[in-house]
Structures are given as structure tokens and as C-alpha cells.
Structure 1
């Protein structure tokens, strides 16, 4: 069958997905390269090598599509943004956790992207990328379980039968109010938010240790406090409902004060994390039926948006934020 995709130009959705995927992939590529320079664990190293190969595969294929379309390849990040001679900033266990976290982000990213693209060559690429990431995520989970570093979400006693909420004013008030025990939907989202912030907190501690720019350091300190606040607030909710996270956040940061990463890369990763956080908090808000929990998630979202806006301003002021592709401004043409 004749390949028809050459006759179909990239749509705005196609460009968005390829552009974002390329930028993000080149960023995490730098992290995997740094990890591999220092890894000692013979079980973890193959996981990071596979993660690097997956990212390299993605970058190469996106570049090929852009070249074929004569579309400018984004600058993204490169070897200039990572110092491979720098000592390890994070432990081997955190490198494994970083790959795990990468799967949590990229697998939904590819799944969502598949519903938006219009060309079959891009669809096939995203499908292959998702398959690779899913397989790696399974391996990483198994290794984390074997090393005892994976905290499972809270468990509950199985209900004896399926039930419906009775339509009585008192019961509705109880269900949607602040006193009812947390349900499984709420428990799962709370756990994931604590886990996400815990991993982000370790990342921020590492960045704070090596960042020299005072303005960026102050910004990262705000992020650290933001993550700590979310962890403490949500952990308290679990304790009030007799659920507990298995262990406090481990500090998987070395004593190095030499930065392996450019400050542009550091700010970008925090900015990308903010975007993921807003999306995930929105998901949690959508399934939370307790009023106090819904209000708290709303506050979290507002705090993260404010923090993210400050980070974007820092990047723009330094000329570090790459501009997304823009459509033609026809208003300017009309005025010329």
C-alpha cells in the first residue's frame, strides 16, 4: 500500500506533540547521561541504559520527521547542558526512581498524544515509544520491589458487597462534607501526590546544593517549601484516617557541590514538573468528593500556578525559554 502521509502536512496538534516530546526528551537525556557516568549498581545500570536508549530512539525519529518536513528542529538541550565530569549528585537508588517517575509521566503523555495526532507515521512512532516505556516501567517496578524501595498505596478492608449512596439529605451532607472517611479514589490520589512531591523534594534538595545563582536558589527554596507543605498537609489527612505512608522521604543526594546540569536545564525541569503537577492535582480534584479535600486541592493548584509563573519569568528574563512554533500573524499582514 502506498504511504500517504507524505501528502499530509503536519497539523498544529502534530507539531505540538512532536515539539514537546523533543524538548522533554532532550532534557531527560542529559540526566540519564549523568547517571550513567556514576552508577555502581549492576542491576540499576541496565534500567538507566534502556531509558537512555528509549529517549535516543524518540529524539532520532522526531528529528527525522522534522527534517523530512523541512521544519526547524527545536534547540532543546544538549551535551552543553550536562557536565559528565561532575561527581554524582544523586544516589543509584534515586537514578532508579527517576526512571520510574519518567514512566509515570511519559506513558500517559504518549497515550494522550495518540488521541490527537492525524498522521499514521506519527501514530506509529508514539505507539512504539509508549510500548518501550511501558515495558521499561514494568522492569523498574519489579526492581524497586526487589530492593524494597517502593511504597505501596494504603490498603483497605474489602467491602462485603457493592453499595449505592442513598439519597437522603443527611447522608449526602456526610458524603460530600468533611467528616466522612476517605474513599479509595481519594486515598489513591493523596498517596500519588505525596509520592510525586517526595521525589520532587529530593530533586530540589540536589539542585539547591549545586546552584550558585542566588535568584534561582531562592526560587528553588520556594519550590522546596511548596513540596514540603503538600506532603505534610496530605500526610496529616492520611493519619487522621488511620492511614500511613510507609517511610519518610529518603534523602538520596550525595555531598557534591558541583552542578552536573546547566541552570537553564534545572529551571526547565522544574517548569515541566509544575505542568505535570497542575494536571495531576486537577485529576485528584475531579474525583475528590469531600469538600475540605477539594478546597485543599484548589489551593495547591493556585500555589503551583503562581510558583510556575515565577519560574517562567526567570527563564524569559535570561533568554532561556524556547518559543513554541507560532502560526502566521495575519493581523500584521492586514496592517502592512
Structure 2
């Protein structure tokens, strides 16, 4: 007997935990990104940034539709995520136009990293193809954002360093020292990690400065202000280390935020963005720690991770207390089934 074509699934392999976790997490991030991009597009005046923001929005909407189609085919519940109700387009601009470009740059830079990590955990080919496409489009949009930032003169290139004259091998275990006495110069890997952690924290400072400015809830305002100070401390720490190498100075970022005190975003969306920034901070600082070969850097990175994890725990408590946290899919509670 021939099966009904409408009931035959193209893929008879069910989603595994890695595909479910990856798709579910990305759905939330993309629905958040859509809210930000719709807000930017409502206010954007810069004719050069506008088409890039429009393209970014269509990419994110397309990703959401793709994930929905996969979940619907699996009879898997679509996450609530974020919607038009989480953004107030009637609110005055909170950020200047150039921050929309910075947002596109940073989201695609982080997206390239995140999608690559997620893709490497997936084995169902249709899901893997989706994440590979996400990597491609994020990389492409990142390049477009960098190009436009360079043209506008708002992109800070990573520090230059002289090329080595020959191949050398480490001769002494003191290569790992740095807590006391003379420190060896930073190597290229350490310098790169430091620079991009400074850049990412500058982005966080701008975002949290804007959020704190418009939040009316004192508890949330104080919490966001605390997060901004953590990012400022990281920037100061890394800048001080780089200044010792005559490489970089402090850059002011407050000019990106307008004088508006009306929030364009829901408190739930704001806290989700804070959680995203916390998660990214923990992952990338841990990455920097793993690649560092100087004891003082390892100690500093370890301290930072502890501080950010404590802050992230407090953020978790807030969103749970206010019932803003949508629960990730859980495995079946076998113990509970056996009791029933």
C-alpha cells in the first residue's frame, strides 16, 4: 500500500539534542536581533548603513522561518522568543546611526563563531546545511560591515607588530612567567585575544550605557550599571597591559548613545541581551585563557571569568524571578515516570 505523500517526512531521522539545542538557541538570538534591526531601520538616516541593515533583517527573518519549518515538520513547539511587542518604534532614537553598523558588525562577528561551533555539533544533514549557510552569510555580512566601517573611519584595526626575522623555539620555562619580575613581550596570539576582548567590551559598554539610561526599574538600572562597570574594568585592565607594550590607549565610546530616556525595548529583551553578552564574555575570555602562555594573563582571565559568572548568576535569578526565562527543552524525567 502506498503511503500518503503528505505524511511522509523528507528526513526520517529525528532531531538529536545537539540539533534541538542549537536550533532552539539560535531562534532566540535571531528573534532578538530582528527586534534591534527593526528599531534601527525605523530611525536610520544614513543612506550607506540603511541597505546593510535591511539585508541583515532579511537574513535574520529567513533564519527564523527556516527554523520554524524544521520544528513544524518535527511537531516540535515553536519557541516564543521575541516579537514586535518587545520593541517600541515610537521611542526616540537611543543610539546614533553608526551604532547600527557596529551592531551588525559585532552580531555577525560573534555569529560566525557561534554558528561554526553549533554546526560542528550537528550530524543531521539538513540542519548542518542550514548552519553552514548561516556561517556563510554571517561571514559575508561581517566583511561588508568591516568595509563600510573602514570607509567611514570608525574601525580600529588590530595592533601591528614587527615580523619575526627567523623561526625560534622557546628556550626556557620562564616563557610562562609574568607574575613577578620582568615579563616577556606579548606574543601575537595573546595580543589578538586582548584586542578583540577590548573591542567586544566597548560594544557592551555602549549597549549597557543606553539600557541603563532608559530603564525605569531601579533594580534593573543598578544591575545593568554594574555590568557596564565590569566591562569598563576589563577594558582598563587590557588597555593597561597593552600600554605597557606601547600598543593601545583608551578610546571613548559614549558618543554612540543619544540623550533619550525612553526605552525602545522591553525589559525582558534587555535582560536577554545582557545574558547573551555574559555568555559571550565567558566563552571568549575562556578561549583567551586557554591560548595564553603568560602566568599573569592566565590569573587575570581566571579572575574575570569568576566575576562574570557571578554577574550572570544574578541575571539568571532576575529573569527567573520575573518569569522571563523560557525553559530550554528538557530530557524525559525517567525517575518521575517511574514514580507515577
Task: From 119, 142, 149, give the equivalent of 1:137.
Answer: 142
- Give, in angstroms, the shift of residue 159 of structure 1: 1.1
Instruction: Find the counterpart in structure 1 of residue 238 from structure 2.
Output: 234
Counterpart in the other structure of 1:96: 101
Deviations 1:93-121 (A, max 9, x none): 11100000001111111111221112111
Correspondence for 2:53 among 40, 45, 48 = 48
Alignment correspondent of 1:30: 35
Deviation at 1:174, TM superposition (A): 4.4
Structure-2 separation of matches of 1:189 and 1:203: 21
Alpha-carbon separation, structure 2, partners of 1:7 and 1:117:
16
C-alpha spacing 1:219/1:247, structure 2 compared with 1 (3 Å): closer
Instruction: State the Cα deviation string for residues 277-310 of structure 1 (Å, max 9, x = none).
Output: 1000011001111111110000000000000000
* Two-structure CA RMSD over aligned residues (Å): 1.3
For the pair 1:152 / 2:157, whether they are aligned, the reply is yes
Give every structure 1 segment of 4 or more consecutive aligned residues whose post-TM-superposition deviation is greater than 4 Å: none
Distance 1:245 1:234 in 2: 10
1:168-247 alignment runs, 5 A limit: 171-178=172-179, 179-245=183-249, 247=251
Mean CA deviation greater in 172-181 or 35-44: 172-181
TM-superposed deviation, 1:328: 0.9
Cross-structure match for 2:125: 120
Q: How does 1:311-322 map to 2 (within 5 A)?
A: 311-322=315-326
Q: Map of 1:294-333 to 2, 5 A cutoff? A: 294-333=298-337
Q: Is the 8 A contact 1:5 1:120 kept in 2?
A: no
Distance 1:40 1:227 in 2: 30
Deviations 1:191-230 (A, max 9, x none): 1111100010000010011001111011011101101100
Distance, in Å, in 1 between the alignment partners of 2:283 and 2:175 is 28
Q: 8 Å contact 1:151–1:246 — kept in the other structure?
A: no
Residues 5 and 296 (structure 1 numbering): CA distance in 2 closer, same or farther, change over 3 Å? farther
C-alpha distance in structure 2 between counterparts of 1:309 and 1:50, whole Å: 35
Q: Give distance in 2, aligned partners of 1:10 and 1:256.
A: 45
In structure 1, the gaps of 5 or more residues are none
For the pair 1:284 / 2:288, whether they are aligned, the reply is: yes
Q: Secondary structure of 2:11's match? A: helix
Measure how far apart 1:246 and its partner are. Answer: 7.4
TM, length-normalised to structure 2: 0.94
* Bigger mean CA offset, 224-233 vs 237-246: 237-246
For the residue of structure 1 that corresponds to 2:81, the secondary structure is: coil
SS state of the match for residue 256, structure 2? coil
Task: Name the SS of the counterpart of 1:165 in structure 2.
Answer: coil
Q: Secondary structure at the match of 2:255?
A: coil
Shift in Å at residue 163 of structure 1? Answer: 0.7
Deviation at 1:138, TM superposition (A): 0.9
Provide TM-score, normalisation by structure 1. Answer: 0.96
Alignment match of 1:267 (pick from 260, 263, 271) = 271
Aligned residue runs from structure 1 range 73-88, under 5 A: 73-88=78-93
Q: How many residues align?
A: 330
